[in-house]
Chain A
Amino acid sequence: MIITQKKPIEEIMAMVGDAKTVGIVGCGSCATACQTGGEAQIAELTAVLEQAGKKVVATTVADYCCMNLGVKGKMKAINAANPDCVICMSCGDGVQCVAKNAGNAPVYPSNNTMYLGEAVRFGVWEEACRFCGECVLGQTGAICPITQCAKSLVNGPCGGQKNGKCEVNPENDCAWIKIYNRLEATGQLEKLTQTREDKGYAAHAYPRTISLKKGK
């Protein structure tokens, strides 16, 4: 899921500025799981805004703030209340999707969008994928070198590990040693000796659109 973190409330209040009425849009998927955009967080933010003299005129939770059609329907109630601004409590994608459906009301994010990650246990999310677009997990024991290696190295480790820990953050294990251990356990060490072709970054020019209709 997309991992989000709450922005400091001062930053949110600065964006809201002089606006007197506010609409709030939560997100029923990732942000609810991250406790950054569910019903409880909407109630929390509403209380803070009202304490600051703002009026929260409408709230809603879209199932997925990143799905335009669903958001369009949910935004009807928000737009009908004609708020001075809208706060969207989702990831950056959701904020942009909500903004497209918010008429002329400015839309502000309440969260910082951090990474694609995994909920490893309650309240703890680890970064897992950096959307490189050319998944190598089949060659690397299902451990992502692009994400788990601080240098995103694709040809094996640098010389910077110390006692198996990464030079960049000694709390992290060296990704390539993890990959080695996993491939050894699965009897696939030969995968490390296979040559990897450099694919370059030409295909990474953003923003990109994938369309099933266009067959891309």
Chain B
Amino acid sequence: MSILKDALESGKFGITAEMAPPKGYDFTEQMEAAELLAGKVHAVNVTDMQSASLKASGIGLCIKLKQAGVEPILQITGRDRNRMAIMGDVLSAASFGIDTMLALTGDHPVVGDCKDSKPVYDLDSVGILKMLSKMEETNCDCGGNEIAGGAPKFYKGASVTPVYEPIFLQINKLRQKVEAGAMYVQTQGIFDLDTFKRFLEKVDAAGIKTHIMAGIIPLKAAGMAKYMNENVPGIDVPQHMIDRLAAAAAEGKEKGIKGLPMQLGMEMAAEMIAKIKDEHLCDGVHIMAIGAEKNVPTILDKAGLYI
């Protein structure tokens, strides 16, 4: 049974991290990070060529993580696979004991690094969830044919962007995802708790019942925050955070100490995580360290958060 499901359904504060497979076939770095994360998080998302940047396929890293004792969350986008390919991957994943997944529509190939690739989008996030729910209900594949030995059961998740205008569209799509079978939802990175609270109120007002995990992106530098504000949809880092990071960089330069902005970013992330938990705002956190997965245990320590 899904460890994340166990945690969330039993009322524990869920903790997940995120990892990308390499652009290559040497998974050493990922497995080193996995060793550090083992026992600290309930599960680790494995991204599906995020930002449409070519990587080894997620199912491979999911299998490796599973073998290393870290629960993987298989992210599946509709960008590169039609419904048959998605269902085939899900069946293979199940045979390795992978039982937790997260559906996404997927960034378009033209924003990625293999621009000539044909976008598929046979199914979007809602479509993927519906297909898997139906598979579980009917024990049949996407063509209505019986699956030998019955269908595997997945703890299915989705994502949501709390900073979105008009928010009606995000709430409406979230409702569709939950109706389609999403039992937990990880949000895009949040940096302002008041905005997040307003979003949660809207989710409540819409009568949407699901486990929400707040997305946390530890900032590494003022430049990274500015870049994300300008380029990443749904990201809105407040100016005061950017200023603090810039001040830390200046202090580091003056004193000849490296890494002060990253340390501050980790502290800010820990502070936000602790607040979210103390104020019982939502059911868990999803930490997207974007390559700095080794920092996640320290952040969790600082936040006083353990599984």
Contacts and interface: CB of A to CB of B under 8 A. Distances in A.
Given A159-B160, A180-B169, 7 more contacts: A150-B110, A152-B121, A154-B124, A155-B125, A159-B105, A159-B161, A167-B107
A155 B233 contact: no
- Going nearest first, the 8 A-B pairs with the smallest beta carbon separation are A156-B173, A155-B126, A159-B161, A158-B105, A168-B108, A151-B121, A162-B233, A153-B124
B27 interface: no
Contacts of B168: 180, 189, 192
A159 B110 contact: no
B166 A177 contact: yes
Contact of A155 (B119, B164, B176, B234): B176
A4 to B, nearest CB: 23
Contact of A159 (B122, B123, B127, B234): B234
B172 interface: yes
Interface residues of B, number: 33
B130 interface: yes
Contacts of B122: 201
A193 interface: yes
Nearest to B142: A200
A18 interface: no
B111, B175, B179, B188 — which one has the most chain A CB atoms within 10 A of its CB? B111
A160 B127 contact: no
Given A160-B233, A180-B166, A167 B108 contact: yes
A168 B105 contact: no
B159 interface: yes
A64 B106 CA distance: 41
A176 B126 CA distance: 15
Contact of B108 (A157, A160, A180, A189): A160
A160 B123 contact: no
Given A151-B119, A176-B169, A189-B168, A160 B107 contact: yes
Interface in A166-207: 167-169, 176-177, 180, 189, 192-193, 195, 198, 201
A161 interface: yes
Contact of A167 (B111, B121, B166, B172): B111
Interface string B229-240: 001011000000
Contacts of B231: 162
A198 B134 CA distance: 12
A159 B233 contact: yes
Contacts of B234: 159
A158 B172 contact: no
Interface string B147-178: 00000000000011100111011101101100
Nearest to B131: A198
B127 A198 contact: yes
Interface in B96-126: 105-108, 110-111, 119, 121-126
